[in-house]
Structure 1
Amino acid sequence: MGSSNTPVPADLLRQHGLQVTAQRIAVIRAVSACPHGTVEEVAEAVHNEIGAISRQAVYDSLGMLAEKGLIRRIQPAGSPARYEDRVGDNHHHLICRSCNRMVDVDCAVGYTPCLTAADDSGYEIDEAEVIYWGRCPECFTADKEPAAQ
């Protein structure tokens, strides 16, 4: 973060009417440096940057930043919540069933019947969340290799 077209964390906080604190800046930086990181991964990165910080303070910062739209919280079925700073678009995710690595998948364009609800039940739909599951290339290759005897 901080390139000419990406606001620095302090500016992002100010733009959203939030107090600028070292903890919040460190959490934003950690999420940016570790896309799809878990709370534990974010907390470790924050601790490495600013020293002592409680896990609760990290949870609180992540929750508030997600609520304000500065970061996105993703919680795939059977997995811990993960956080990313790619917000403002409707992208999706692909998760490896073997190693749990998660990568972004841009939203499909053109004919996408699975993203159009057959019956909206009166809801005003503004987002579709899709998670693709499979095996990453490394895990797929490892599974194909014969076991050492």
Structure 2
Amino acid sequence: MPTLTDPVAQLREAGLRVTRPRLAVIEALGRHPHADVDSIADAARAELGTVSTQAIYDVLKAFTSVGLVRRIEPAGSPARFELRVGDNHHHVVCRSCGAIADVDCAHGSAPCLTASDDHGFSIDEAEVTYWGICPDCSASTTTTVRQIPEGTP
């Protein structure tokens, strides 16, 4: 998980004005990677008192536009945002609770950006999503093994 040593410097280096909502959002993402907009808004409101949901969307759009934040959209899930950008990492998603974790690329570089047929596209990103059941959900789920009587086809 990326560390926020100086969010003010990060905003300035990205060419963004430093505002309280932007600081609240970047700090919320530092504490809660893969957060959705509602979670980010709740964290920002806890710090600022009031901030509109539209303001959160605007901040996230600005962050995404300058490459400060990455937006991911696992199937069946609202958009999630993270500070880990610029590397070739992927995600694993729990089918039960929706938990998301980062997975480093097994190759270490971006081989998945070399498509077998790019159809003329200029490819700049590839998303790999692994799906499964997280350890917490696995521990709380009892597995029932269905017994089949002998001699049944």
For normalisation by structure 1, the TM-score amounts to: 0.86
Output one character per residue of 1:81-113: Cα deviation in whole Å (capped at 9) or x when no partner.
011111110100000000000000001217x98
Q: Which residue of structure 2 lines up, in the alignment, with residue 102 of structure 1?
A: 100
Q: Which of 2, 5, 27 does residue 29 from structure 1 map onto?
A: 27
Uncovered stretches (5+) of structure 2, i.e. residues with no partner: 145-153
CA distance change for structure 1 residues 113 and 7 in 2, over 3 Å: closer, same or farther? closer
User: Root-mean-square deviation (CA), in Å?
Assistant: 2.4
SS of residue paired to 2:92: strand
Q: Which of 134, 137, 140 does residue 136 from structure 1 map onto?
A: 134
Indicate whether 1:56 and 2:57 are aligned: no
Residues in 1 aligned to 2:26 and 2:113: alpha-carbon distance in whole angstroms:
31
Uncovered stretches (5+) of structure 1, i.e. residues with no partner: none
CA distance change for structure 1 residues 113 and 143 in 2, over 3 Å: closer, same or farther? farther
Between Structure 1 and Structure 2, how many residues are aligned?
143
Q: Which residue of structure 2 lines up, in the alignment, with residue 126 of structure 1?
A: 124
Runs of 4+ in 1 over 4 A off after TM superposition: 112-116
Residues in 1 aligned to 2:5 and 2:15: alpha-carbon distance in whole angstroms:
14
Answer with 1 or 2: which has the greater Rg: 2
Residues in 1 aligned to 2:91 and 2:6: alpha-carbon distance in whole angstroms:
26
Residues in 2 aligned to 1:69 and 1:117: alpha-carbon distance in whole angstroms:
23
